[in-house]
Structure 1
């Protein structure tokens, strides 16, 4: 049901209009003979549309329209008047009238056209409100994304600039929204230039001139870039850019999320160096040392272990510890491997063992390594030759 307020100083015409407009059952019409009286009504803002005459005492239709636009926004307003002067039409358009309809002719046809104008104006406003609400929801979602995010329209004008990107760049949304000409690149690079959001449909060879680690996931583009901060420190940014589509599937803009991954890449580099350092130390240990998985399979061995077993790393890898270091029936028994004791105790185990295959008596320590969840991940075994000590 569309609620309508019909304002005309001719009371009889108001009642006639009410009768015609309510015939279809689509509209509920209230009438009033004074624009000032209408504005004073507590129910005024609840109407879906306003129909107004032009020439009325105290306040004419244009003045009424101005007051409505000033205090009630975009409520649909149809000027229905017997005055067809050009200056009235221009004034109505300039002040935001939705439709202008001249009185005269067959009342049935005239009010049918008026009803059509009311329906059109109300439907348009409801569609605009729905679109506005949808856009607001989208903006709210973008605004609360944890990653720095912005969006542009087809012309390159910034249409979204969220809180996270305000914090990252120091540029507020009011200062960036509505800006074009690659303004969004300035906080990152200090110059106006194309960035990832502008390169979505470019070939990889073009993207690679500015970005690395390029990944395409359907129409989503992921890449990394680095540049120096003002104080000279290098910052590494990861960007994810995608086109924006309307309901017809047409590209209407693009959106990009940016994450500062400098610390992540530094941590990865530190971890890489730590692994390399560990590998150097492991290889250089003067005693045979091996690393086993939870199933007793050897996954690595140091140089001393290769010399002691007279085997290559390829030959030793994949063997179970008892197969590599025991002889006879013991080489077939998992129970002879210290790993079984470690599994039961979940603590380091140390034994003294006469290892025939290595030709001596060894002090063997077996140290478990667990995941954060407490699962056994691997075991490090080190065998120290104490044969000479025992002979003494």
Structure 2
């Protein structure tokens, strides 16, 4: 294990540490990181909120350990801790289920069932093995069900390498080979123009995560990445002897970029690229069509994955609400949530508009999409919402034939349904 590097959380394998109170979860985290990251105490419930520790673990690369409060916590404060712990499940790629001296009963069975329902790989960590080895019948059961397990005595600094080896064997394939952001839309040697407006929302001295990811992926793929402001796009296009294979813009500059980009050149936005990489593009397409179903007075949920201080004309709090209300022709009621906060009850909302989630893992985005589908709430992301309300949706989907076909099929179904009702 080496010193942590500044890799974004979205690149890190999220490893959640779960178990009952006082099972030794915090001691396990401290052992794995070789640091006193979490407070260790004999008093049950010492860990109150999830504790995160980013680090590098070879050969896994950048990872994020998340030490959780005991899920068997009790009382009002305990209920709040349990709720926070359950939020961690939404973003867990691999779960460490920590046992207290081999103890396994209905509580551990329930946790295991939760991991299985969510498709989360789990490693059973039989901690405090210096006090009591895991029962033979438990080991037989774990082996028969092919559940990975290891023995540790975290307080005695024993078992670190066994846990690491088990993690290496359990890494999800999608973490090793994540979906591409842009590389499959171009060929080596192609030019892609990235339109990056420099306005009051642009961070001083740097560019935002989606733009960085696109540039790096294009370079890795042997493409030419040409970054311009929206005010210089037409000039850049005029100077190119060969038209670019793709133009990608910040969604807020859609109108100007669409006007300056010839129809023959595919065009989309960074946010739509993220919608495909992080989530389900077809579900987002269906969500965009549901914008036409909004009526004045409806409630819309806006979800921002990053916490930030809103500025004047903020995209999620002012621009998108304004464009949606112009499209609907009346007042809508907006609720905004940030970070990992998300309503338990989605039924009051007619639409969820989600940010691109560039700093999140695909698993957490897919979990939210699953919850929306289960609740019957359409979901769309920022870029697709903007493109739809500005009348640029079909053009923005052109680089994605599958999504374009899904849009046309869904549009035909909706038109047929309207015709039947009338």
| TM score, norm. by length of structure 2 | 0.24
Instruction: Tell me which protein shows more strand as a share of its residues.
Output: 1
| TM score, norm. by length of structure 1 | 0.25
Identify the structure with bigger relative contact order (alpha carbons < 8 Å, sequence gap 6+): 2
